[in-house]
Amino acid sequence: MSKICVIGTGYVGLVTGVCFADLGNEVTCLDVDQSRIERLKQGIMPIYEPGLEQLVSQNVRAGRLAFTTDYRQALDGAEFAFIAVGTPSGVDGEADLQYVRMAAEAIADIAQGYLIIVNKSTVPVGTGDWITDIIRRRRNGTRPLLQFSVVSNPEFLREGSAINDFMYPDRVVLGSTDRQAASKVAELYVSLRCPILITDLRTAEMIKYASNAFLATRISFINEIANICEELGADVQEVALGMGYDKRIGPAFLDAGLGWGGSCFPKDVKALAHMAVLHGTQPQLLQAVMEINRNQRRRVVYKLRKALNNLDEKIIGILGLSFKPNTDDIREAPAIDLIHLLQNEGAIIQAYDPQAMENARQVLKRVKLCETPYEVAQGADALVLATEWNEFKQLDFERIYQLMRQPIIMDGRNLWNPEPLRSMGFTYFGVGRGANNHINNHQPET
Ligand code: NAD
Ligand code: UGA
């Protein structure tokens, strides 16, 4: 059992805190957002994440998990302080480190004895050394010496499956100049029985950016292939299937669609490109990966404009607003970009999402937020599927056909089978589903 303080109670901090508590540690989660902490104390989650609420309440009841806004209380007796604050994009695409700085300064002002500072936020290469400098400079010898080590421990969890990803990771990466400190952090993860890579600080920080950039690259790659498929009459889903059987390629992250969004891929690819330029290299591939992603949304607008002649005063229904299913997060969501692009051309938007309506209300203007997918279809000139939530898989398309003004479907995630929809009379567009290719997920007999 270790005593752990987790700074930041967002997706990463809260999940890290509750999972470490569930593994038997004594965890205090700290946030500067008072209302967030008040709500957490009442058992109200600040984010939608499957399984989170129950795990939090179990661990609070067991006395292993507490919440506070008070750094003194959170750091009291802590052996580890995990930093899990946001690192959003700055004006030039760089990672904005103001929250990391504030956390480091608070640690420097308050911590006592020996502390292992573990950084889980996604930060530019060199940030671990920068944190060390901040704390050393601030602790200027007028107070008892703070003995500390900094360890980089990038997080690879995905929203929507965060608890599972934390508990069953593919690997844990730890980077530090202090191998002993890294080994102590490794002990926290030993029961997860996964590979633990211990390396230096800068390499660990780079592993995080390289991993996210690689995943984004795979998606942009398959989207480029999808666009070529569309022109040549091939079907990208079967292309991906055929590619994915190759063990060197693998099947994951080859779903063509509206492109990647979320709070991480966009900001991390930008930040990596920014780092590269700052240090005199030309990140040509990363630039192309971002450009392909932007174009993927524009391409949908182009298809709709072509199908409807022009978009002025056309009613477009959008199904799904979150950047992917099983989350209420709409940061950099393809649906939100798409809505803005469509509104720029005069389209009237009505939309629905199973979880993201509250968040959408804060950022969307002039959008009718509907209660059901059918209300979205009502009077629409086209229906766009932007997020592949389960509840959209089996809609009553006969009803939708009756409700729409023009039966045009733009399936931005290739969720539906085109043939039955076409036979019902819909004009169906998918992404990269050329000709009339039939999808059969035939497994070879063994
Ligand atoms: P978030 O925005 O959901 O949460 C950050 C929290 O930190 C907020 O509650 C904020 O109030 C709090 N905070 C800010 N400054 C603070 C301070 N000085 N002291 C205490 N609390 C403070 O962020 P997130 O999505 O959890 O991401 C955190 C980091 O983890 C980012 O660097 C992100 O790139 C990285 N990451 C995120 C994910 C993900 O799926 N969201 C996955 C892997 C890595
Ligand atoms: C991603 C990574 O998968 C995590 O490993 C990482 O920890 C996290 O970013 C982070 O650093 O924050 P997340 O953003 O939660 O996780 O979501 P993903 O499941 O990776 O999806 C990202 C975007 O790519 C979504 O918009 C999704 O719709 C899109 N996507 C994903 C595709 O368009 N095609 C695919 O095949 C897969």
Residues sharing a CB contact under 8 Å with residue 444, sequence separation 6 or more, in sequence order: none
* 64 C-beta neighbours (distance < 10 Å), count: 21
pTM reported for the whole predicted model: 0.95
Which atom number of ligand 2 is nearest to the Cα of residue 158?
Answer: 15
Residue pLDDT tens, the chain, 446 long: 999 999 999 999 999 999 999 999 999 999 999 999 999 999 999 998 999 999 999 999 999 999 999 999 999 999 999 999 999 999 999 999 999 999 999 999 999 999 999 999 999 999 999 999 999 998 766 666 789 999 999 999 999 999 999 999 999 999 999 999 999 999 999 999 999 999 999 999 999 999 999 999 999 999 999 999 999 999 999 999 999 999 999 999 999 999 999 999 999 999 999 999 999 999 999 999 999 999 999 999 999 999 999 999 999 999 999 999 998 999 999 999 999 999 999 999 999 999 999 999 999 999 999 999 999 999 999 999 999 999 999 999 999 999 999 999 999 999 999 999 999 999 999 999 986 433 344 444 43
Atom of ligand 2 nearest to the CA of 413: 33
Sign of CA dihedral 8, 11, 14, 16: negative
HSE of 372 in the Cβ direction (CA atoms, 13 Å)?
Answer: 8
Task: State the CB neighbour count (10 A cutoff) for residue 264.
Answer: 24
Q: Whose CA is nearest to atom 27 of ligand 1?
A: 86
Q: Is 264 a catalytic residue?
A: yes
Q: How many CA atoms lie within 13 A of 140 on its CB side?
A: 2
Nearest ligand, CA 12: 1
Contact 369, 359 (CB under 8 A): no
- Substitution site in 119, 243, 324 for ligand 2 pocket (most atoms within 8 Å of beta carbon): 324
